[in-house]
């Protein structure tokens, strides 16, 4: 422990930025503003709108709009998304031009190229980002990638950095732990990773030092004793029951998550996911659209297979492109009693069912496995017994899922909808079908995404490293003509090939040659979790991390995104830009720059396979021979190999 203590003071500043954080404009309700004034300087983090009509966690009937809510067929994008895209795609032009120019592709004038296609937005690269599931490991590793991609992060636009990619993207998707990351960023109104990480006095956001089973530990308006924490959560969930709605474990889980993820009093019980669509920065098209992903579970079963129906949440809708459900409901009104695709004329509309924490919890119901680890937490035994009994009782009633009841797709598309006669829509963790990277919303042909930067923090191996299983699953699903519904995906090798050829240990491009793919498949830039400066392979079911360990794993994700700040390949930023431009070059007939050709030769999977069974347990070595300790010089300061050993040993001693 002394070795760890020796580096902890520096590691505490193992930082993405520095002392200064970016303060963004806020537009809270008067009630929230008054409450937060008591909690100190929380203004660095903006928030979504607390717009549940009940003023709390429970949904509430409201007057229906003149055009009553209906379920639409999944044959096209929604009118809302189409209108938003016109704004967003134009809004990305300048940020993308700036980003491509900074990536500095040799012999290529990015500004001239972008100016040449400025009036033909269909030729502009369409970028998606996807962050896998994997509990807090996925949140923290994915946070490092998004911090590296964000031009608001200190030093992220310096030479060798990739800041600005986030601002150039059209879509950002998360699932399970990655969904916590995306949900936290957006429910705090697109706050930066560095602001969420650094927080502010009295805030419990991203404070993972106390287990989620204990509750926040600091002093502030949000902070409760453990007993009061559980009591408050139970009271809030009870209001939903009292309003006439069934509840499940996911209601409790989502409420608990919110204390760590949403910077509002008691985790913002009145904040909804659909309120993101009402925020000025989203309405203007100045930020990407977020997605969370969940799987459908056939009523009366406990099996989630690769051909299960996949559902997406976006600020406008909940629904599925799959030929099973093949429909979308307006997210704002999902608590209404839809029947046959409409809210009957004598029926009420309901708002507030899409509570933000409940949506994040729906995408991460795998948390039930946390219960198997509950005895490892520091909860007093009495509270352990109460909480475990509560959850076990719910589980016995088959409530170990997210209950979306009433089912918005009741009586809709009866020929193929697996839930057409069920009063509830049963949703579970989006990675339970094996597709742990949320590629589903981004490969839909209606969205025309050109490139997906896919961050994989999956625990596929014995020691919690990825081995490509998620990509394999999505590829296999794309070959199933009963469920793929027009989606195309690049060829993906088997998991043994990923490990034997090191594809799970470095960035790899899949689908570089679009002419070899049947259908409009995006190019996939695969970014697997690997040990650059720390052992970031913590268990999916570790429920607590001190700030030093949290910051180290976030920083490791930053190193993954930048290939060790360019120390492993100084041309990496240019190669990322080449990947983003690849499909655009195809459409415009642009000659591929020589440096891009070299990048594709270096990073594109060339079809080689090695399916030899992997011997022993996969244990990768550290990829960077130094540790960045931040400090005044930020990303530029490095120490020698002794520092690496000390840091690694310290992490092992935790």
pLDDT band at 347; cut points 50, 70, 90: confident
CA nearest to 454, candidates 475, 433, 438: 438
Q: Which tens digits make up the pLDDT trace of 435-473?
A: 999 999 999 999 999 999 999 999 999 999 999 999 999
Identify the pLDDT of residue 559: 97
**Does the pLDDT of residue 652 top 70, yes or no?**
no
What mean pLDDT value characterizes the chain?
85
Q: Which tens digits make up the pLDDT trace of 571-595?
A: 999 999 999 999 999 999 999 999 9
Which three-class secondary structure state does DSSP give residue 403? strand
d(CA 117, CA 129): 23
pLDDT band at 375; cut points 50, 70, 90: low
- Write down the residue that tokens 């229906």 correspond to: 64
Range of the domain at 635: 2-652
Domain tally, the chain: 1
- Of 167-176, 193-202, 369-378, give the range with the top mean pLDDT: 167-176
Tokens in use for 389? 């009994």
pLDDT band at 306; cut points 50, 70, 90: confident
Percent of the chain beyond pLDDT 90?
A: 70
pLDDT band at 548; cut points 50, 70, 90: very high
Cβ neighbors of 409 (< 8 A, separation 6 or more) are 71, 319, 325, 327, 329, 338, 417, 419, 420, 425
Q: Is the dihedral of CA 58, 61, 67, 68 positive or negative?
A: positive
CATH of the domain at 365: 3.40.1090.10
CB 532 within 8 A of CB 556: yes
The three-state DSSP-derived secondary structure of 199-217 is CCCCCCCCCCCCCCCCCCC
Identify the pLDDT of residue 380: 58
Identify the pLDDT of residue 48: 58
Angle at 150 between CA 86 and CA 437, to 5 degrees: 80
**Does the pLDDT of residue 359 top 70, yes or no?**
yes
Beta strands in 392-551 (DSSP E): 402-404, 425-429, 451-456, 508-510, 523-528
Q: Which tens digits make up the pLDDT trace of 173-224?
A: 999 999 999 999 999 999 999 999 998 777 889 999 988 877 886 544 445 6
CB 540 within 8 A of CB 459: yes
pLDDT band at 21; cut points 50, 70, 90: very low
Identify the pLDDT of residue 519: 76
Query: Which own/partner pairs from 642-649 qualify as long-range (CB within 8 Å, at least 24 positions apart)?
Result: 643/7, 644/533, 646/3, 646/4, 646/6, 646/7, 647/7, 647/11, 647/533, 647/534, 647/552, 648/534, 648/535, 648/622, 649/3, 649/4
The three-state DSSP-derived secondary structure of 159-180 is CCCCCCHHHHCCEEEECCHHHH
Identify the pLDDT of residue 216: 81
List Cα–Cα distances, 423 to 141, 320, 325, 429, in angstroms. Answer: 38, 18, 15, 20
Q: Which tens digits make up the pLDDT trace of 99-155?
A: 999 999 999 999 999 999 999 999 999 999 999 999 999 999 999 999 999 999 999
pLDDT band at 394; cut points 50, 70, 90: low
Beta strands in 378-460 (DSSP E): 402-404, 425-429, 451-456
pLDDT band at 230; cut points 50, 70, 90: confident
CB 576 within 8 A of CB 602: no
């Amino acid at each position: 422990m002394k070795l760890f203590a020796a580096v902890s003071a520096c590691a505490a500043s193992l930082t993405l930025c520095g002392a200064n954080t970016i303060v963004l404009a806020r537009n809270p309700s008067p009630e929230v503003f008054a409450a937060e004034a008591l909690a100190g300087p929380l203004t660095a983090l903006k928030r979504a709108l607390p717009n549940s009509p009940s003023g709390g966690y429970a949904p509430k009937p409201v007057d229906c709009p003149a055009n009553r809510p209906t379920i639409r067929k999944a044959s096209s994008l929604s009118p809302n998304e189409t209108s938003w895209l016109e704004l967003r795609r134009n809004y990305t032009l300048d940020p993308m031009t700036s980003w491509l120019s900074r990536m500095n592709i040799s012999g290529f004038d990015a500004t001239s190229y972008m100016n040449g296609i400025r009036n033909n937005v269909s030729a502009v690269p369409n970028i998606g980002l996807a962050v896998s599931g994997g509990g807090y490991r996925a949140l923290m590793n994915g946070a490092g990638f998004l911090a590296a991609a964000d031009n608001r992060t200190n030093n992220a636009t310096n030479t060798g950095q990739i800041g600005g990619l986030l601002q150039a993207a059209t879509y950002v998707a998360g699932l399970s732990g990655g969904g916590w990351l995306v949900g936290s960023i957006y429910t705090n109104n697109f706050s930066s990773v560095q602001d969420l990480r650094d927080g502010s006095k009295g805030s419990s956001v991203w404070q993972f030092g106390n287990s989620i089973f204990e509750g926040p530990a600091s002093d502030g308006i949000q902070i409760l004793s453990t007993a009061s924490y559980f009591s408050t959560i139970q009271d809030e969930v009870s209001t939903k029951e009292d309003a006439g709605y069934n509840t499940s474990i996911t209601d409790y889980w989502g409420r608990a998550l919110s204390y760590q993820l949403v910077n509002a009093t008691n985790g913002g019980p009145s904040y909804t996911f659909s309120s993101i669509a009402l925020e000025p920065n989203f309405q203007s098209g100045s930020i990407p659209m977020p997605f969370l992903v969940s799987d459908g579970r056939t009523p009366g079963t406990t099996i989630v297979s690769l051909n299960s129906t996949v559902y997406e949440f976006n600020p406008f809708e909940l629904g599925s492109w799959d030929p099973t459900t093949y429909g979308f409901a307006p997210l704002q009104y999902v608590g209404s009693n839809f029947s046959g695709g409409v809210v009957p004329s004598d029926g009420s509309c309901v708002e507030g069912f899409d509570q933000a924490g409940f949506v994040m919890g729906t995408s991460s119901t795998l948390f039930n496995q946390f219960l198997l680890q509950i005895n490892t937490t520091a909860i007093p035994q009495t509270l352990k017994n109460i909480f475990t009994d509560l959850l076990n009782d719910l589980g016995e009633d088959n409530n170990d899922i997210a209950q979306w009841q009433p089912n918005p797709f009741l009586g809709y598309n009866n020929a193929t909808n697996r839930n057409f006669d069920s009063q509830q829509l049963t949703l579970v963790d989006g990675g339970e079908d094996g597709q742990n990277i949320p590629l589903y919303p981004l490969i839909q042909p209606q969205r025309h995404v050109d490139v997906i930067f896919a961050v994989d923090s999956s625990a596929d191996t014995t020691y919690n490293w990825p081995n490509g299983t998620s990509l394999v699953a999505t590829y296999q699903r794309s070959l199933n003509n009963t469920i793929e519904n027009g989606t195309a995906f690049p060829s993906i090798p088997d998991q043994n090939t990923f490990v034997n050829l090191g594809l799970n240990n470095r960035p790899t491009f899949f689908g570089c040659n679009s002419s070899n793919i049947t259908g409009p498949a995006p190019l996939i830039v695969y970014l697997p979790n690997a040990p650059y400066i720390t052992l970031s392979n913590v268990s999916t079911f570790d429920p607590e991390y001190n700030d030093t360990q949290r910051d180290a794993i976030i920083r490791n994700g930053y190193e993954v995104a930048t290939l060790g700040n360019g120390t492993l390949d100084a041309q990496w930023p240019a190669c990322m830009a080449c990947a983003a431009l690849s499909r655009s070059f195809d459409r415009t007939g642009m000659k591929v720059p020589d440096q891009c050709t070299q990048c594709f030769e270096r990073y594109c999977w060339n079809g080689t396979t090695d399916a030899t069974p992997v011997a022993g347990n996969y244990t990768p070595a550290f990829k960077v021979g130094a540790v960045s300790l931040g400090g005044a010089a930020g990303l530029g300061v490095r120490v020698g190999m002794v520092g690496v050993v000390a840091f690694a040993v310290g992490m092992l001693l935790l």
